[in-house]
Amino acid sequence: MGERARARVADALGTWVEPAQVRAEGRALRAVVGHGAHRRMALGAERPSIVEFVRASNAGRVPDLVPLRVGRMLASPFAFFRGSAGLMAGDLAAAPSTGVHAQLCGDAHAANFGLYGTPDGQIVMDINDFDETLPGPWEWDLKRLATSLVLAGREGAVSAKGCRDAAEDVVRSYRKTIDHLAEQPFLDSWTALGDESVLSKVRAEELFDDFAKAAKKARKNTSARVAARWTSRGDDQRWRFVVDPPVLTAVDDEVADAVVGALPEYVDTLRESRRNLIMRYGVSDVAFRVVGTGSVGLRNYLALLHGNGDEALILQVKEARPSALAEHLGVGAAKHEGKRIVHGARLVQAETDILLGWTTVQGRDYIVRQFRNRKGEIDATTLDRDHLDDYGRLAGALLARAHTRSVDPRLLSGYCEGGDLDEAFADYAIAYADQTAADHAELVAAVEAGLLPALIEQPVG
């Protein structure tokens, strides 16, 4: 190969650097932002009151669902935390930063790690929510995850020491996984972790039963099962959703036509072979479904498709709003918020939904994906101390792998080695969990004073 050809290859692929040099660059960052600097929990200089924050975050949502969103956030400090990624982002922006950016989940709390099915039938666990994804400081995701373990543990009556241990284990597992991946061939590290074998690798054996139980349930969580429970065939032989207000409701013809009319644009965002697959289906019905805690009030539709005979496929068409992190990262609105989310998911997840794409409905951005694609969860708020520790180790490892899709693991390994990173992040997590409890109390007081509307859902059963 000639010099000019080698130069073109170097420009296209980058210049090879000795691993030791990359690690040294990471170690050098500790002179700028030492491990101990992460202990400091700062609040944003222009931090809004909780009433101001909730009102601002409700803007643009379906008005009738706003009280339901507030009601869900009232349930506990952890529930409030799940709906307040933007509030924490403003506070994280006031804290020290190494300046190393990764593709963030943006809302990396304990309930946003879950099980789902891969195209070849495996059940894997990974980050599963990317509404807030953007490039940003890797520390933001890790601090949010560690804080969430403290809040989940408190909700589950785990002792203060147990909550702290779980937070430290999140960071320790993150750090050790980064070290491990920094030693691996790039192709191996790119596809590492995810299935049940990761439990042994991160010493999370206590979760074997929890994982197996969740995986068994996830395997049954398919479009076919949803269709069997939520749809029926009318006298005209057409399949339709059976409404179940307020969670599942009918839409008018204008909305249904708009959703169906937006699907061709969605198909164009899929890889070519998958376009051939989805085009074999036909749309039978469209309904509106309420989802999540932070997502309550967003426009979220289910499209019922039918394939071969009685085969059913349900697609979720979910509104994509600007990331709550954007203003705190100095990032403008994306050209298409759905595309931003899909790009983030494809970059971060080891395996993405083969039918994940984006579209526009009535001037609003949306993502489209399979609904209930063998999804499952391990509820961190129900875990005892030993299991919460293990869950922390599992989530920390998965977050580390996710970050190394966009950051050289050797750089992070150099920064994270030695020192007291685990203890520093745990100190932050406990302090921010205390702040979240105070924020939640402020929300409760605001609702009691009539400043915010709230609808409290009645327990089922």
Residue 96 Rama label (left phi>0; alpha psi -120 to 50; beta):
beta
Cα dihedral sign, 376-381-384-386: positive
Per-residue model confidence as pLDDT tens digits over 316-347: 999 999 999 999 999 988 999 999 999 999 99
**In this predicted structure, what is the pLDDT of residue 114?**
87
Three-state DSSP at 446 gives helix
Which pairing describes strands 123-127 and 364-370: parallel, antiparallel, or unpaired? unpaired
In angstroms, the CA 15 to CA 269 distance is 32
Q: What are phi and psi of 117, to 5 degrees?
A: -95, 140
Cβ 293 vs Cβ 83: under 8 Å: yes
Cα 102 to chain center, whole Å? 14
Number of independent structural domains in the chain: 2
% of the chain surpassing 70 pLDDT: 93
At 262-276, the pLDDT tens digits run: 999 999 999 888 999
Q: What number of other Cβ atoms are within 10 A of residue 450's Cβ?
A: 8
Is the predicted pLDDT of residue 14 greater than 80, yes or no? no
Mean pLDDT of the chain: 91
pLDDT tens figures, 358-415: 999 999 999 999 998 888 889 999 999 999 998 998 899 999 999 999 999 999 999 9
- The terminus-to-terminus CA distance of the chain in angstroms comes to 72
Number of neighbouring beta carbons within 10 Å of residue 9: 11
Residue 358 sits in the same domain as residue 392: no
Rounded-to-integer distance, Cα 163 and Cα 431, Å = 12
pLDDT at 12: 54
Residue 254 has a pLDDT of 97
Looking at the fold, whether 260 and 329 belong to one and the same domain comes out as: yes
Whether residue 345 sits in one domain with residue 298: yes
Task: Kindly report, residue by residue over 429-441, the tens digit of the pLDDT.
Answer: 999 999 999 999 9
Return the higher-pLDDT residue of 89 and 195.
89
Residue 9: per-residue pLDDT: 44
Residues 272 and 202 occupy one common structural domain: no
Give the residue ranges of DSSP H helices in 243-312: 253-267, 272-278
Asked whether the predicted pLDDT for residue 22 surpasses 60, the reply is yes
In a domain, 54, yes or no: yes
Backbone angles phi, psi at 148, to 5 degrees: -65, -35
Q: Please tell me whether residues 76 and 168 are part of one structural domain.
A: yes
What is the average per-residue pLDDT within 9-30?
83
pTM of the model: 0.93
For residue range 214-245, what is the model confidence (pLDDT) as tens digits?
888 888 888 889 889 999 988 887 899 999 99
Q: Please check whether residue 385 lies inside any domain of the structure.
A: yes
The residue with tokens 């979720």 is 316
The predicted pLDDT at position 301 comes to: 98
Instruction: Indicate the residue type of 267.
Output: V
pLDDT score at 205 = 64
Instruction: Kindly state whether residues 316 and 331 are assigned to the same domain.
Output: yes
Distance CA 197, CA 64 (A): 45
What pLDDT digit, counting tens, does each position of 245-255 carry? Answer: 989 999 999 99
Question: Can you give the residue range of the structural domain that contains 185?
Answer: 25-100+132-215+380-396+403-448
Query: Residue 371 contacts by C-beta under 8 Å, 6 or more apart in sequence?
Result: 223, 226, 302, 314, 315, 316
Question: Over 80: is that where the pLDDT of 193 sits?
Answer: no
36 and 94 belong to one structural domain: yes
Structure tokens at 446: 């605001």
pLDDT of residue 461: 47
For 364-380, write each residue's pLDDT tens digit: 999 999 998 888 889 99
Same domain, 230 and 331: yes
Residue 246, both tokens:
């307020």
pLDDT surpasses 50 at 452: yes
For residue 89 the two structure tokens come to: 């982002």
For residues 177 and 193, give the distance between their C-alpha atoms in angstroms, rounded to a whole number: 10
Strands 123-127 and 282-289: unpaired
pLDDT at position 131 over 80? yes
Look at residue 273 in the predicted model and tell me its pLDDT: 86
Q: Count CB-CB contacts under 10 A for residue 49.
A: 12
What is the enclosing helix (H) or strand (E) of 137?
A: strand 134-137
Do 421 and 319 share a structural domain? no
Model confidence at 459, in pLDDT bands (50, 70, 90)? low
Residues 339 and 320 in one domain: yes
Burial 331-365 (b: 16+ CB within 10 A, else e): eeebebbbbbbbbbbebbbbbbbbbbbbbbbeebb
In a domain, 91, yes or no: yes
Which pLDDT value is given to residue 203? 63
Q: According to the model, what pLDDT value does residue 222 have?
A: 87
Domain annotation covers residue 246: yes
Reply yes or no on whether the pLDDT at 6 is more than 80: no
In the numeric block, which tokens belong to residue 148?
A: 């969430």
**Cα torsion angle, 425, 295, 118, 325, sign:** negative
Last residue of a domain, one of 352, 370, 388: 370
Q: Are 108 and 144 in contact (CB under 8 A)?
A: yes
Ramachandran assignment for 363, one of left (phi > 0), alpha (psi -120 to 50 degrees), beta (any other): left
Question: If DSSP codes are grouped into helix, strand and coil, which group holds residue 102?
Answer: strand
Q: How many CA atoms within 13 Å lie on the side-chain side of 314?
A: 27
